[in-house]
Structure 1
Amino acid sequence: MSLRIVVCVKYVPDATGDRHFAEDLTTDRDAVDGLLSELDEYAVEQALQISDEADDAEVTVLTVGPEDARDALRKALSMGADKAVHVDDEDLHGTDVFGTSKVLAAAIEKTGYDLVVCGMASTDGVMGVLPAVLAERLGVPQVTLLSEVSVADGKVTGRRDGDAATENLEAALPAVVSVTDQSGEARYPSFKGIMAAKKKPVEELDLDDLDLDGDDFGLEGSWTAVDEANARPPRTAGTVVKDEGEGGKQLAEYLAGQKFL
C-alpha cells in the first residue's frame, strides 16, 4: 500500500517587503509579494526524502489561502511533490491558527494520509502551534521540532535537538511531524521540475466541500483577535562615537548609560 504523505504549506508575505496591516487588522497581502514560507520548504524536502526511500509513496501538498496561494503549491510541486490541494473560500478571510487547523484537518481526512509533515512555524505568524493543534484535531500522535526524520515499519522516528539534550522519538502511523530549519537544505526546483509542475493536478476545495460552516471561521469565528496595531517607529540615526583619543572612554560611558555595563 502506498505511503500517503501530506505536507501543509503556507503562502506568506515576503519578509523583505514592506508589510503592514489592512483596515480590518489582518495582514495586507495585496500590498506585498507572497511566496512559499521558507520554513515549509524544509517540510517539503523531508517529505520528498521519505518518499524517495519508500517503496511506494505519494506526496500531496496542502494549503489554505486565497487564489495567490497556488503559487506556494506550484513551488512545492516543482520541487517534486506529486499533487496539491488548495482550500480557498471567502469566509476564511481573517481565520486564526485554530480555525485554520480545523480546515486543514478536514482536508487531510478527505485526501487520506499516513503522515502529515509541517514546518516548525510560519514566517508571518511565527506561532509554531499548528502541528500540535492539527494532531489533536486528527486524533493522532505528534512528533514535533525534528532535525532528522524517517519512516519504516509503520512508524515515524526522528531526532529532536534541544539546547541541553537530544531526544530520539518515535510514533506509530498515522502521525503528524514538524521539522526544523536544521533538517537539511531544501532542493532548488530544476527547469524540468518547473515544467512538470504545470501538469500536476491541483484540487480546489471550499468549506462546502469539507462540510464546514463558514460562520465558524473568519474574523468573527476566530478564537483570537487583534485589537490594535501600530506601525514600528522609524529607526533613528543612533549615537556616533568618534575616536579622537578618548573613543574607548566615550563608548564605555555610553554603554554604562544604557545599563549594558
Structure 2
Amino acid sequence: MRATQDRGILLLGGAREAEDLAAALSAGPGAGALLIRPPGLRGTGFDTPATSLPPGDVSGRARLGRGCAAVVIATHPFDAAGTASGVAVARALGLPALRLLRPAWRPGPGDGWQQVETAGAAAEAAAGRGARRVFLAVGRDRLAPFAAALPEAELFVRVLGPGPLLARGQVLEAPGPFTAAGEAELFARLGVDLVVARNTGGAGGWPKLAAARALGLPAILLAQPAPPPGLARAATVAAAVRWISGKLGVEIPPGVA
C-alpha cells in the first residue's frame, strides 16, 4: 500500500488527532497520506488509505513510507515507544518529522491536583494520602506500582478490553464516551476518594477530572512523556496542516482543518 499520491505524508497514528488529520487531508486537495495505526485500533471512516503495523516494525513502516515527503507522528501522548519508532522511521527514510501532540490539561479553580512524572511516584503519593478507594486510569502497563503501594486499598481500574486480575477492587471496562455527570455518579457510587490518571489532554478523558472537581476529590496526574529533543511539534491539527503545506510546498485550503 502506498500513499494516495507520490510525495505525500506518512502518518503514524494512535491518537484521535491522527484520525482527524487523516480526515482533514482526505477532504481537500493538495496532500495525500498513508495512515498506519497500531494493531487493534479501529479508526473512523475517511478516504485516506490506512493499515496496521506494530510500532516495533520500523523497517515495515519505513518500507510503506517510501515515496513520502514527510512523517507526522500522531501517536498516543503516552506511547513513548511509538513516538520513538516514528523518529526511527523518519530517520531511516531521511525525512522531516513532526510530533502532533495535544496540550496537557492544566488545573483551574477548584482542582486539587498533584502532578508527578512516573506511576511509581503516583502510587507513593496515593499511599501517602492514605487513599482507600482509588480510581485509576493510567493504562494497564502502569498498574503494578499501585497494587504494591496500596495493598489494602480498593482499586477501580479503567482499561480498554478485558482487565487484569485485582486482589481488591474492580475492573471498569466501559469504553466511553464519558460525561462529567456520569463520572460523578460513578465516583459517588463507588465511594472514590482519589482519582489517578494520565494527563493525556483532550476532550475525551476530561470528564473524570471535571467530576473530581465537582465532587471536591483530589487527583494525581502523570505528566506526559517529553517528546524526543529536536523534533518539530504541533499542538493542533490545523497547525499540523500548516506544517505539511510548508514541507510539501502545496496549498492546503485553510478550511480543511
Same fold, TM exceeding 0.5?
A: no
Larger radius of gyration: 1
TM-score (norm 2): 0.32
TM-score (norm 1): 0.32
